[in-house]
């Protein structure tokens, strides 16, 4: 009987593993065929840079966008120069081939990241429950990023590499990872700052020195190689692409909706003054939480998980495709929900709510419901955490 049960468990495990891999490959292929969004901006910026231009000058980027896609789209370049450098090897390739490489790269690092994360939270048992969690995380977090061809899976991957490199005391590698995390400072600045504080508290100065050195070298190289690098930054409409959809360099065709607290509060038809008041109070709460967790966090993973939660709670600019890194918070919180059947059931119920958001949300502002869901899951997990080490049931 025990042998028969093991056979069925193995079959269930294999089925769940197969579903995860099929789902991840399927959403990547579907996204590649039916969507084409932000990679065109990366590709165009890298092409302009390769031809000796300034990728921050949207008037130089627009003709390339028209050439490769046939339309003028809202894709001004706001990332650090070293992010564009990563795309230089594919500017020689046809646009669709380069897109395919970017999609395949993101698919691979997404699945690798999920596996790395399961190791970091100490889930040694690899069975159908873990693979099912991988599948649901892919559909809720990974697919949105793949569909928009965004860089948040890249950030997710490098955030995990940062944690691993710190554990292994590979300080130069840590500095490099922190440098690449800053390609999206709107969702990583707080996290990088808190990790640096953690390193300072533990008297580890080498990774911070490596980070500063690389930032200076990369910035200096960019200033040297890109003509008039900073000139576009002083144009009055330089940041217009963050709040508006553009046709060309200056024609506004629509206002952007973000996945932030301010836009989420707009769902409730609150006036702007009330929204700003609530937002200000939430920033204060976020600062208090950051201070408390810096002194009370039991591990770097816990510090990172809570920093992510605070970041997406109060960031003034983020879209739902930026949420990939929140899988770290989700897995960490779930890893604490093990002390009793009630704790497990509560954690599972809140997790199912988080996964359900993408099914009933009306627009990306509604996607912010993921953050309150994760806050509730985190509070539940911390309140139920036992003092004993994590054990498998």
Q: Report how far residue 290's alpha carbon sits from residue 303's, in angstroms, rounded to the nearest whole number.
A: 9
pLDDT in the model for residue 283? 97
Q: Report how far residue 232's alpha carbon sits from residue 184's, in angstroms, rounded to the nearest whole number.
A: 19
pLDDT in the model for residue 374? 98
pLDDT in the model for residue 390? 39
pLDDT, one tens digit per residue, over 244-295 is 655 555 555 456 789 999 999 999 988 899 999 999 999 999 999 999 999 9
pLDDT in the model for residue 8? 83
pLDDT in the model for residue 40? 93
Q: What is the pLDDT confidence band of residue 315, given thresholds at 50, 70 and 90?
A: very high
Q: Which residues are paired to 284 by β-bridges?
A: none
Length of the chain: 393
pLDDT, one tens digit per residue, over 49-96 is 999 999 999 999 999 999 888 777 778 899 999 999 999 999 999 999
Of the candidates 201, 196, 243, 234, the residue with the CA atom closest to the CA atom of residue 215: 196
Q: Report how far residue 91's alpha carbon sits from residue 44's, in angstroms, rounded to the nearest whole number.
A: 8
Q: What is the pLDDT confidence band of residue 34, given thresholds at 50, 70 and 90?
A: very high
Mean pLDDT of the 95-123 span: 95
Mean pLDDT of the 26-41 span: 92
Mean pLDDT of the 139-151 span: 96
Q: Report how far residue 90's alpha carbon sits from residue 79's, in angstroms, rounded to the nearest whole number.
A: 18
pLDDT, one tens digit per residue, over 161-195 is 999 999 999 999 999 999 999 999 999 999 999 99
- Which residues, other chains included, contact 139 with Cβ-Cβ below 8 Å and sequence gap of 6+? 23, 27, 355, 358
Mean of all residue pLDDT scores within the chain: 91
Strand ranges for 258-312 from DSSP E: none
Q: Report how far residue 251's alpha carbon sits from residue 265's, in angstroms, rounded to the nearest whole number.
A: 28
Domain definitions of the chain by residue range: 2-384
Q: What is the pLDDT confidence band of residue 389, given thresholds at 50, 70 and 90?
A: very low
Which percentage of the chain shows pLDDT scores above 70?
Answer: 94
pLDDT in the model for residue 7? 81
pLDDT in the model for residue 37? 83
pLDDT in the model for residue 245? 58
> Does residue 13 or residue 339 have the better pLDDT?
13
pLDDT in the model for residue 392? 37
pLDDT in the model for residue 248? 52
Mean pLDDT of the 235-249 span: 68
Question: Could you tell me whether strands 244-247 and 251-255 are parallel, antiparallel, or unpaired per DSSP bridges?
Answer: antiparallel
Q: Report how far residue 201's alpha carbon sits from residue 195's, in angstroms, rounded to the nearest whole number.
A: 10
**Is a pLDDT exceeding 70 seen at residue 386?**
no
pLDDT in the model for residue 70? 79
Q: How far, CA to CA in Å, does 152 sit from each of 79, 134, 265? A: 12, 17, 24
């Amino acid at each position: 009987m025990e042998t028969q049960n093991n056979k069925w468990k193995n079959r269930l495990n294999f089925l769940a593993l197969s579903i995860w891999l099929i789902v991840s490959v399927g959403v990547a292929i579907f996204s590649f065929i039916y969507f084409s969004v932000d990679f065109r901006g990366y590709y165009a910026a890298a092409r302009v840079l390769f031809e000796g231009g300034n990728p921050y000058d949207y008037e130089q980027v627009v003709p390339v966008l028209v050439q490769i896609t046939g339309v003028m789209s809202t894709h001004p370049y706001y990332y650090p120069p070293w992010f564009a450098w990563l795309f230089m090897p594919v500017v020689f390739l046809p646009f669709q081939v380069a897109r395919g490489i970017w999609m395949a790269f993101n698919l691979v690092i997404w699945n690798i990241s999920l596996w790395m994360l399961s190791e970091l939270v100490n889930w040694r048992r690899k069975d159908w429950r873990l693979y099912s969690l991988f599948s649901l995380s892919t559909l809720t977090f990974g697919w949105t990023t793949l569909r928009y061809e965004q860089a948040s899976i890249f950030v997710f991957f490098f955030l995990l590499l940062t944690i691993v490199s710190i554990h292994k005391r590979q300080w130069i590698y840590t500095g490099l990872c922190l440098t690449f995390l800053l390609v999206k400072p709107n969702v990583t600045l707080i996290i990088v700052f808190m990790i640096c504080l953690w390193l300072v508290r533990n008297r580890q100065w080498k990774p911070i020195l490596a980070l500063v050195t690389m930032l200076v070298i990369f910035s200096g190289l960019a200033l040297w190689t890109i003509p008039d690098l900073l000139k576009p930054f002083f144009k009055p409409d330089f940041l217009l692409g963050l709040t508006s959809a553009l046709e060309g360099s200056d024609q506004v065709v629509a206002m952007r909706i973000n996945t932030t607290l301010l836009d989420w509060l707009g769902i409730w038809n609150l006036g702007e003054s009330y929204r700003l008041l609530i937002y200000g109070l939430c920033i204060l709460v976020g600062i208090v939480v950051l201070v408390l967790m810096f002194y009370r966090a039991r591990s770097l993973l816990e510090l990172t998980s809570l920093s992510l939660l605070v970041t997406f709670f109060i960031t003034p600019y983020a879209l739902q495709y930026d949420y990939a890194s929140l899988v770290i918070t989700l897995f960490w919180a779930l890893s604490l929900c093990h002390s009793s059947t009630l704790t497990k059931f509560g954690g599972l119920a809140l997790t199912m709510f988080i996964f359900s958001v993408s099914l009933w949300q009306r627009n990306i502002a509604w996607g912010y419901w993921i953050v309150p869901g994760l806050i509730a899951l985190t509070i539940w997990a911390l309140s139920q955490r036992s003092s004993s080490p994590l054990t498998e049931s």
